[in-house]
Amino acid sequence: MREGRPACVVQTLRLIAAHATLMFHATDEDAMRRILCIFLLLLPHHVLAAGTLRDAVERAWERQPAAQARPARAEEFTAKQEAARAAFPEPPSLRLGNRNDRLTGNDGVREWEAEIALPLWLPGEQGRQNAIVNAERDQYDT
C-alpha cells in the first residue's frame, strides 16, 4: 500500500483495475495506468484527502446544513436564555399622543395622552420560559 492513501482507496483501485482488465482486455501495464489515472481524476479530492473513515465522515458532516447551522442555533438559544432572564418579558415603552379638532370645527377640543408600558412576568412565567429554552437546547443537542 502506498503511503498516505487509505486502505479502502487502495482496495477500490485494485478492484477497478481487475474489472478494467476484464472489461477492456487490457493486458499491458500502460493501459492499466491510463485507466487508473482517469479514475483518480474523477474522484472528488475530499475522498482522496481523507486519511481514515472517521476523517471522511467528519468532513461530510461539516458539509451538512445541520452542522453549518449549529453556530446560529447556539446564538439563538443564548438570545432566548437572555430574554428569559430579563427583568421584563418585553421592552418597556413610552407613548405620547395629541388629539384636537382644528381641522373639523376648531371648537377648542384638545386632548393629550402619555402612556408608559412596563410588561410584567406573570407568576411562574419566567421560570417556565427558562425551562422551555433549556428543553429546546437539550433536544437540539441530542
- How crowded is residue 27: how many other Cβ atoms within 10 Å of its Cβ? 8
Q: What is the pLDDT of residues 26-67, one digit of tens each?
A: 555 666 666 666 766 666 665 556 567 777 777 777 888 877
Q: What is the pLDDT of residues 81-93, one digit of tens each?
A: 999 999 999 999 9
Q: Is the pLDDT of residue 79 over 90?
A: yes
pLDDT band at 1 (very low <50, low <70, confident <90, very high): very low
Q: Is the pLDDT of residue 127 over 80?
A: yes
Cα distance from N-terminal residue to C-terminal residue, the chain? 39
Strands (DSSP E) contained in the chain are 93-100, 110-117
| Dihedral pair phi/psi, residue 135, rounded to 5° | -65, -40
- Mean pLDDT (the chain, rounded): 78
DSSP three-state, residue 128:
helix
- How crowded is residue 133: how many other Cβ atoms within 10 Å of its Cβ? 20
Q: Is the pLDDT of residue 133 over 90?
A: yes
Percent of the chain with pLDDT over 90: 33
State the DSSP code for 114: E
pTM: 0.47
Task: Look at residue 29 in the predicted model and tell me its pLDDT.
Answer: 64
Task: Look at residue 49 in the predicted model and tell me its pLDDT.
Answer: 60
